[in-house]
Structure 1
């Protein structure tokens, strides 16, 4: 049996995909330890893994980023992504590395399993002190390629001669100009702990530092790259564990024989429901559909409008319970939620501009499974038009049904376990 040390960014969408992986490894008799913040201790311990709490690093709560980083709200789009990279992802890198160095002495892991945004292993990798590293992808692939525009711009791929010239120019612009300050910031942090500079672009660093990269989707929902590294494996979408204790709301039977549209702003970019959730409710108020809106755990009173008769509002409904009853989803484009919609064959309308959402939304459009509104504040008219399109134009249902079958043919957890086991024995 092997030893696996998990280390992921303490953010729900980064932690959740790893939990069933850790649980399965424990069931198979492997030793598993998971380094994280106290918020996730209970969930981690339910997998059977040993919990190791952050010590040098901040005990962050991803539900309160506005408290930890109050200046974050001043930034939008690419500038907010840069802020997050500097202060949330790379900011704790030296402290993560200090904790992991200590932990690996106590628990000499055969493999460190991290999410594709975790930076804590970079100092160990760059100084030759890291064991084998496996990363799992919880957002669209960040790897630069001659066939794709740089990550973050939401631009579709092109491998034509002209497209490759475009890609080269844009990749240079992003790496050398737009994100040069992020690269300098990361290298400055490394210098404080006497570690060499990053030999690769900051956005791709965790992926390129890994010995095995497990992208949590199918090839048909990721841009093709002719120069894809040999370390990459597509394992299928990482879906949340299914809850067994959820109580159906009293209105559940209202969905019978109705066209149901679900709207959500996910669990992070949901401070202002006037961005998408409320406009969608208002846009569909006069339509012959039942709208199921969820607040991602935020208080229902934050939806500060009178609710039309055709709206049902809840804090949270597990997607595996809700989506089989849904004809279309309106979302700001969280990677996990979008992939769950695809898994259940639900056409998608996306409207998101923060975090990785422009890239998720672009892939929704590129793959043909839905419509990208290319804004995070769409008008009611645009929402209504897009919803009618995905409901009434059959190509969206066909595309998402085809991709759904591909998703359902892939067992992400078992595929991941096989790859991790091979890596541990190398």
Structure 2
């Protein structure tokens, strides 16, 4: 079976798809992973065929687009902002710019199935234009059909320009969903209603070395602070998170990214440790709460270890994640750094938050592994034939 995976160029979008791509290759499938030129480096040493589509991003142009987006989204609700961002920027600008190159690759390589994700709608449109079936891979919580309606209007406009009346219906398209059902709201009409559960990448607890950053910490309880791989350089955010907890009698471990400047935090007491990078899976078994922005990898990692989460949402679907965490009582959402200390004190004091997180951990542990989902995709390909 020939499987084409496709992701936007952000590492946080590409990484969740790698376990399934590796499992497919191990099962004997021919796999090509299509992404932006700047992200090909993330595929080194994976054993996967890496394909670059589109032009490298221009930092100045990207900064200009973000300024424009912020201006256009001022005053919108969180759902409206996400809808606008996906439709007008991810699809109308990003996917549109690489669509013709994507179509050319799909026609030349002739995959049996395309596996795309939310951030790479060019692959979905290319599959429709060439007549190849596709599956959608989660990179965060599932999206409501109403939120994504405008994105589909833009996408259908782009394929009509290329001779296709409309993209095929989504009802039967498999949505490979690593988001725990216990977090997803009930009674929502989803963009992709056919859910195939999939265990998220690398979050289930496994034995491993205890990182040195945890040695010699003075307090009984530890809080892990992180902004993941995309937002860790946002000025002042991590600094304010750490400052909010600095005088609390808890250990604080913060990771700031491989290129982060530890000196920007100034001198810290012994119970506060600032590190560039520590594998999340090594830190989480030893912590009692996580403070983060709501990135899916961080949230899923915490919940898979039964650790409650305090979320300060920053962008895109972080607000959605924060609301779901709070509704599931697996943590708390705050709207500014001023609320972090109170929220951390509450999730540490009330056992119910830990119990809710542990319930979600049990659900994550039961989700099918990538190899099982690959076998299911093989059955799908046979039924399509």
Deviation at 1:210, TM superposition (A): 7.0
Q: Secondary structure at the match of 2:313?
A: coil
Question: Structure 1 67/301 Cα, relative in aligned 2: closer, same or farther at 3 Å?
Answer: farther
User: Could you tell me whether the CA contact under 8 Å between 2:288 and 2:308 is conserved in 1?
Assistant: yes
Instruction: Report the alpha carbon displacement of residue 220 of structure 1 after superposing the two structures with TM.
Output: 1.1
SS at match of 2:121: coil
Give CA deviations for 1:32-72 in whole Å, capped at 9, x if unaligned: 11111233324324332212211xx2223xxx866633341
Determine the structure 1 residue equivalent to 2:312.
Answer: 351
1:232 equivalent in alignment to 2:195:
yes
Q: Is the 8 A contact 1:261 1:289 kept in 2?
A: yes
> Aligned partners of 1:364 and 1:257: how far apart in 2?
27
> Do the aligned residues in 1 keep the contact of 2:255 with 2:277 (CA within 8 Å)?
yes
| SS across alignment from 2:341 | helix
CA distance in 1, matches of 2:266, 2:235: 10
The number of aligned residues is: 374
Given candidates 403, 413, 424, the residue that maps to 2:360 is 403
The corresponding residue for 1:130 is 131
Structure 1's unaligned 5+ residue stretches are: 145-149, 152-173, 201-207
Superposed displacement of residue 191, structure 1: 5.1
SS at match of 2:367: coil
- Corresponding residue SS for 2:18: helix
Report the Cα distance in structure 2 between the residues aligned to 1:39 and 1:422, rounded to whole angstroms: 34
CA distance in structure 2 between the partners assigned to 1:359 and 1:416 by the alignment: 26
8 Å CA contact 1:110, 1:131 repeated in 2: yes
Q: Which runs of 5+ in 2 are unaligned?
A: none
Change (3 A) 1:280 1:288: same
Partner of 1:271: 233
Asked if the contact 1:38/1:59 (under 8 Å) is kept, the reply is yes
* Whole-Å separation in 2 of the counterparts to 1:329 and 1:125: 39
**Residue 30 (str. 1) matches residue 29 (str. 2):** yes
- Identify the range of structure 1 (70-79 vs 395-404) with the bigger mean alpha-carbon deviation: 70-79
TM-score, normalised relative to structure 2 = 0.85
Matched, 1:216 2:192: no
Are residues 1:339 and 2:300 paired? yes
CA RMSD for the aligned pairs?
3.2
Counterpart residue number, 2:115: 113
Counterpart selection for 1:58 from 55, 60, 63: 55
Q: CA offset at residue 192 of structure 1?
A: 4.6
Alignment partner of 1:354: what SS? Answer: coil
Per the normalisation by structure 1, the TM-score is 0.78
Write the deviation string for residues 252-292 of structure 1: whole angstroms up to 9, x where unpaired. 312486311011122223333423x2222222222211111
